[in-house]
Amino acid sequence: MPFYDLNFGAHANTKTKLVRRTDDTVLPKPFALHWDTVIDRHRLNYGEFRDFWVSWDGGIIKHGRGSVIGVDIIGEWADSDPFPVSSIGVLNSYDTAGDWIIHATVDGNASNHFINCSPPNERVDLNIYKPVMILSATMCALECVSFFHSDKESSLPFLRYHKLDGDFIQSVMYSATRVLTVYYIIDHHNCIRDIIDHHNCIPDIIEHYNCIPYIIDHHNCIPYIIDHHNCIPDIIDHHNCIPYIIDHYNCIPGIIDHYSCIPDTIDHHNCIPDIIEHNNCKPYINDQHNCIPDIIDHYNCILYTIDHNNCIPDIFDHHNCILYIIDHYNCIPDIIDHHNCIPDIIDHHNCIPYIIDHHNCIPYIIDHYNCIPYIIDHYNCIPDITNTTAYHISLTTTTAYHISLTTIIAYYISLTIRIAYHISLIITTAYMMSLTITTAYEISMTTTTAYQISSTITTAYHVSLTTTTAYQISLTITTAYHISLTTTTTTQISLTITTAYHISLITTTAYHISSTTTTAYKISSTTTTAYPISLTTTTAYQISLTTTTAYYISLTITTAYQLS
């Protein structure tokens, strides 16, 4: 039987050595290759356990230091005529003694012992096996009597003592005998291996040594997310699938009954009323007979929620997060540069006077005698747009700095901004709010109750949306960094993002949440109770979804890394 022999600590602990033999005799002379262990971490140490790994995929024999396969390689060699490896043996030789800790998974053996040895009931501890220097007759008797694979039981013999022939030992001039431990590998079709090999990181998202694959350090890519010793067997067999979440009448069991699929979260007489009735008066928020038209229908109104945030280092370089958005003389304070900033964004001679002059007030806000002229007079550069009740507010600007809007009740607010810095919206109750921004930095919106909020942003940095109760929120973003959505109760939230970094959604109760993302990094969704959640992503890295109670969750991902 041919075999590979990889010797750690060879030549007085100065090399590692690879030997390839065509059979288990001493002839013919084997092929041998060695690598110098020039640094201490690649050598053995009698005073501590050290992790080493060996791999042999595709006839390429590799070995290295550490517990992660493919990392910290000591040496590798490609066999031009490889043979299949069906078992692994570990042993001490050259007058040495030592303890082995074998990192392995025993298929079908919850006791963590190797079995199938003779005499009956003899077992060998999986975790630490201490080979002996003198091979006694008793030890020789502990040779496994059966080496077979049972398709019915799906079990393999993993470990055995191998009785070495005395003549063989003398012929290779070993002064002491050796005990060979054999670990039989779980067959490859039950393993998910090499999801990403160690040469193919998620390349250069930031820079060569600081991309997302190097999660732990710059030597540790995401490769071998599941190594080939950690199999994912059938997670759910065909008799025990996520059992009958929907019964044979196609309903969510227990929410309503067997014949209706929409849960009566809010009964059909207590829906959200017409937001603004046809005379443009204050809506009948508490009218128990009027639903929000077009949300679902007159009888099926629902509720919702969401939240969270974080920081993205090194988007541009490894020193600054959003590096010098304008330049180092005219930057935005606190976004990046800590040395200063907003110099005369609007000087006191060039404010925005007469947005509404006293002859051209906002007509029909209340009546044509009670308009709001002089929202900004010519002595005040930054407007205090603060009012108890706001109707039909429209703001269209190319570049906006430090816009603040504080109101108790707001109807039909529309903000159209090309570039926006430091926008703050604080609203108790908001109806039909629309935000259209090309590039947004540090946008904060805090609302107690929000209806029909629509936000369309090309590039968004540090956007925070905090809402107690939200209905029909729509966020459409091309590229998003540090987006945080916090909501107690939310209905019909739609997130459409092309590229997303550090998106966090925290929801107490969520209904009909839809998230569509082309590429997503570090997406976190935390929900107590979730109904009809849909997440569609082409490529996803580090996505975490935590839900206490979930109904109809749909995850559609083309490529996913580290999905929890």
CB atoms within 10 A of CB 389: 14
Q: How many CB atoms lie within 10 A of CB 358?
A: 9
- pTM score, whole prediction: 0.32
* pLDDT tens-digit profile, the chain (564 residues): 788 888 888 888 889 999 888 876 666 677 889 898 888 888 888 777 788 888 888 889 999 998 888 888 999 999 998 888 877 777 776 566 666 666 654 333 333 333 333 333 433 433 333 332 223 323 323 332 223 333 333 232 333 333 333 332 222 222 223 333 333 222 222 222 222 223 333 332 222 232 222 222 223 222 222 222 332 222 222 222 222 222 233 323 333 232 332 232 322 332 222 222 223 222 223 333 333 332 222 222 222 222 223 222 222 222 322 222 222 223 233 233 333 222 223 222 222 222 222 232 222 222 223 333 333 222 322 233 334 565 656 677 766 666 777 777 766 677 777 776 667 777 777 766 777 777 777 677 777 777 667 777 777 766 777 777 766 677 777 777 667 777 777 666 777 777 776 677 777 776 667 777 777 766 777 777 766 677 777 777 667 777 777 666 777 777 776 677
Angle in degrees, CA 514, 519, 523, rounded to 5: 60
| Dist. CA 85–CA 103, nearest whole Å | 18
Distance CA 78, CA 57 (A): 10
Sign of the alpha-carbon torsion through 386, 392, 397, 400: positive
Cα–Cα distance for residue pair 507/525, rounded to 1 Å: 8
Amino acid identity of residue 90, one-letter, is V
**Structure-token match 């501890």, residue found:** 125
Strands annotated E in 234-374: none
Going from N- to C-terminal start, the domains of the chain cover 3-189, 386-561
Helix, strand, coil shares, percent, the chain, to 5:
5, 40, 55
- Reference 188, options 158, 157, 231, 155; nearest CA is 231
What was the pLDDT predicted at 369? 32
- At 475 the pLDDT is 75
**What's residue 561's pLDDT?**
67
**DSSP sequence for 423-456:** EEEEEEEEEEEEEEEEEEEEEEEEEEEEEEEEEE
Side chain identity, residue 439: T
Distance CA 494, CA 142 (A): 65
Q: Judge whether 375 and 351 are in contact, CB under 8 Å.
A: no
Query: According to the model, what pLDDT value does residue 554 have?
Result: 72
Q: Token pair for residue 89? A: 């043996």
State the Cα–Cα distance between residues 413 and 61, nearest whole angstrom. 66
CB atoms inside a 10 Å sphere around CB 221: 24
